[in-house]
Amino acid sequence: MAYFNQHSGMDLTPIFNQYLRHTAIPTLELKFDESARTVSYRWQVDQAGFSMPIRVGKKDDWQIIEATTEWNTMSTSLKKEDFDVPTDLYYVNVVKQ
């Protein structure tokens, strides 16, 4: 892990620990407030300190967010049914509320 941490300039230990030491894969929780045009997001994981960037939004116009285990909110013009996460690029679950 030290190799990856050194070469990425990031502490990837919590990501490795989540995937290697826990049975559940990360779940990106999304809560939509369409009237405010926002979406709140966080990771539901077993590993403390977990933080992982992920693409969200619409194909061909992805935004990269740095999701953590704490709720964060972003503006979006997309409706819940149009807001995507490219799960073919990430080994994660996604829950939309």
* C-alpha to C-alpha distance for 59 and 18, rounded to whole angstroms: 27
| DSSP-assigned letters across all residues of 1-63 | -HHHHHHHTS--HHHHHHHHH-SSPPEEEEEEETTTTEEEEEEE-SSTT-EEEEEEEETTEEE
pLDDT digits (tens, 9 = 90+) for 67-87: 999 999 999 999 999 999 999
Of all residues in the chain, what percent carry a pLDDT higher than 70? 99
pLDDT digits (tens, 9 = 90+) for 47-65: 999 999 999 999 999 999 9
pLDDT digits (tens, 9 = 90+) for 19-41: 999 999 999 999 999 999 999 99
Architecture of domain 2-96: Sandwich (2.60)
- Name the β-bridge partners of 55: 64
The domains of the chain are located at 2-96
At residue 7 the predicted structure's pLDDT band, cuts being 50, 70 and 90, is: confident
- pTM of this prediction? 0.90
